[in-house]
Structure 1
Amino acid sequence: MLAPVKGPRISQARSAVWAYVRSAPGTYLWLGILCATTVAVHHMSPAFEHEFLRRRSTNIHELSTHPVRVLAASAMWTGGGSWLPYAVLYSVFHAQAERWLGTVRWLVVCGAAHVLATLISEGALAWAIADGRAPASAVHTLDVGVSYALAGVVGVLTYRIPTPWRYPYLAAVLLLFAYPLTAGATFTDLGHFVAVLVGLACHPLVGGRQRVRNPKETGAVGPG
């Protein structure tokens, strides 16, 4: 027997991947920036990396002096570690949300979750410092990354899932993000939970999008 020709299948797979990437341009542009910044961090010395990221961190000190700059800059760094988990999470959650909501509404959800979760969690930390429950040095605590925006998108995707499966998904999400609050919660744990609630509060942006937005996803065809 002749071996099956793999060329056309590989070409089709590449076309499918490229089509998926093009359907969520904001997600993969952001992911590309994160790839570049992650590589950059890996080439920094530990001492330089800490100072570099601190100036781009949404800690209390930087928020009080350069709020707009650090709110934007902090969303472009992963804080080190591996980039591949972000590639998976962005493809599973962000890409789906952007394809469903459209780029503008998806960005609104990401921005709202990132900004509100940051301000509320850092406000809680400032309160703890003022109350003596956290050291004064905590005003410089490193806080960069994209997890708040991701948590917000995880929350808003609740409305993408049809009933009755929506409710187990929602219960699992709330349990996943609420549990850390019961066991030695940090300000980032609070931020993640707030971000999920912000995503759920973005229900008005979902209007008319409870069903699949793109007819190609259902095989439906428009009028000829």
Structure 2
Amino acid sequence: MNRSASAATTAPEEITSPGLDGIPRQRERCPGPVLPEAHEAGAASAPAASRLGRLGRLRPWRLLPTPTGTPFTFGYAAVLTLTSLLAQYADPSLISALHRHSSTDVAHLAQQPLLVLVASALWIAGGIASPYAIGFLLVLTALERRIGALRTAGVFLLGHVVATLATEVPVAFSVLAGQLPDSSLHRLDYGISFGVAASVGALAGLFTPWLRWLVLAGFGGMLVDDLIAFTDPMTNWGHLLALSIGVATWPLVRRWRRPVSN
């Protein structure tokens, strides 16, 4: 046997690529062992890749309500938009009369409590561009995505109703005791701020600890600053109470929490 001919048939350098005649095919490389340092580097980069993946999935439009994802917030926002446009463009005397009849003052609460508690929550004090209107959209959307529509409505109504009664009942007793004039029974009081404050408190319980206390310190500090200004102390106390009501719901909202839908 011709040894040179046999060697020529087995040498890998002489095996040509099937697609390009005359060009030797590159040798196959065997994978070498994975060094411990490389393995640790890959493991360390996994959390970073995971974080980048989560950032890539962020959708800014999810901060706003949608008919299917957050039906309570979306429907309620539509109603508030209509009443805000009415308040801006309708006759001022008509709007003044509607506000008076929607007010949760002592006189109206004594006569038709259910009607005024609902009607007072159909208006935004300060208009559609007020901080509480913006807070309503962002906070209730986030809360509803985490605990559902009915439970979000329950948290909002709990803050709205309890804080309203807690601020108006003392007014009634003060009038009876002669410490306040009878005109205090007709104090104009309407808006969504108590419900929003309670929703902020409830939502904070679903955040990580550092973000939770940051939100409570920021929002609570704003409420305390308003109270110190003493422009409307009854309403300012009501905001702090509503925030506390939201915080008190933490055990419930944490039990109700569900994965955020896409």
TM-score range, shorter chain: 0.7 to 0.9
Task: Give the AA of the match of 2:254.
Answer: G
CA distance in 2, matches of 1:66, 1:96: 33
CA distance 1:55–1:48, change in 2 (3 Å): same
CA distance in 1, matches of 2:89, 2:261: 45
Q: Number of aligned pairs?
A: 201
RMSD: 2.6
Post-superposition shift, 1:64?
0.4
Q: Which runs of 5+ in 1 are unaligned?
A: 1-15, 217-224
Q: Specify the SS of the correspondent of 1:165.
A: helix
Post-superposition shift, 1:183?
3.9
**Conserved 8 A contact 1:78-1:145:** yes
CA distance in 2, matches of 1:84, 1:174: 21
CA distance in 1, matches of 2:105, 2:63: 38
Post-superposition shift, 1:133?
4.3
Which string of whole-angstrom CA distances, capped at 9 and with x for unpartnered residues, describes residues 137-172 of structure 1? 121111111111000001111112112332232222
Computing the radius of gyration over CA atoms, which structure comes out larger, 1 or 2? 2
Post-superposition shift, 1:48?
2.7
Q: Normalising by the residue count of structure 1, what TM-score does the alignment of the two structures yield?
A: 0.79
Q: 1:82 aligns with which of 123, 127, 130?
A: 127
Equivalent pairs: percent with the same residue? Answer: 29
Which string of whole-angstrom CA distances, capped at 9 and with x for unpartnered residues, describes residues 19-73 of structure 1? 9513211111101001111222233333332222111111111000000010011
Which string of whole-angstrom CA distances, capped at 9 and with x for unpartnered residues, describes residues 178-220 of structure 1? 333344252111111111011111123213356x62264xxxx
Q: 1:103 aligns with which of 149, 153, 177?
A: 149
Post-superposition shift, 1:77?
1.4
CA distance 1:206–1:49, change in 2 (3 Å): same
Structure 2 partner of 1:203: 250
Task: Give the AA of the match of 2:159.
Answer: A
Please say if 1:159 is aligned against 2:205: yes
In the TM superposition, 1:130-145 aligns within 5 A as 130-145=176-191
Please say if 1:194 is aligned against 2:241: yes
**Conserved 8 A contact 1:125-1:134:** yes
CA distance in 2, matches of 1:179, 1:133: 26
**Conserved 8 A contact 2:65-2:74:** no
Q: Which runs of 5+ in 2 are unaligned?
A: 1-60
